[in-house]
Amino acid sequence: MRKLVRFFWKLILWFLILSIGGVLLFRFVPVYFTPLMGIRIVQSLVQGESPRHHHKWVPYDQISDNLKRAVIASEDQRFYLHHGFDRVEIEKALKENKTRRKARGASTISQQTAKNLFLWPRSSWFRKGLEVYFTLLIELMWPKERILEVYLNSMETGKGIYGAQAVARLHFNTTARKLSASQSALIAATLPNPRVYNSQKPSAYMQRRQAHILRQMRNVRLQED
């Protein structure tokens, strides 16, 4: 029993050391690969498909302010005001989910960054608990600019496409730096389900979301503004 308890505490200690060390490391080091990217490659192989993987890291100042505003407008309008969790949106989601068929989430950009960087897409109470833990670490150790930089470089933006630079090249024949407001709003419109919605071939629904995001972008101010 003592050995089991000792093993348990050692396991917790190593988890804390590795997780805190990992978050601290990625405060400074570019993120070239995430668990989600690996999972998508394995899923493609299992389905007998040739895996696609398009990703290129670009620094924060090489990403269009249009895309930064579009993502904040569509995903997390109180990004600069909260410390990882948007209490207002959580309360709204809890209230609306009492009558909705499909539950509405209230994940912030910080939470999504934690999930993309350290965890896996399938939701469970265990993963949610880890997501809370990593979100708190990220908010404690990283400035908001770094959180947004990592998110914009690691977000899934299509089948086998990750980050601002890859989707800019493949869908708009441009760079992350040169994305227009209209293009940025289309990319942001895909984020609820980028494997279904395509910013290169937008449906009527996507175009309506794009128009809504463009209107919301007018109210978004970046931290450096």
Mean pLDDT for the stretch of residues 124-135: 93
Tens digits of residue pLDDT in 44-72: 999 999 999 999 999 999 999 999 999 99
Q: How much is the pLDDT for 101?
A: 65
* Sequence letter at residue 8: F
Name which CATH class applies to 58-217.
mainly alpha
Rounded distance, CA 180 to CA 198, Å? 17
Q: How much is the pLDDT for 121?
A: 85
Residue with tokens 């289309």: 186
Within the chain, where are the H helices? Answer: 2-25, 35-46, 65-75, 87-96, 109-118, 125-141, 144-154, 163-172, 181-190, 204-217
Instruction: Compute φ and ψ for 206, nearest 5 degrees.
Output: -60, -40
List all residues 6 or more positions away from 176 whose beta carbon is below 8 Å from its beta carbon. 58, 62, 63, 64, 67, 152, 163, 164, 165, 168
What are the structural domain ranges in the chain? 58-217
* Sequence letter at residue 197: Y
Q: What is the layout of strands, in order, in the sheet containing 161-162?
A: 54-55, 161-162, 156-158
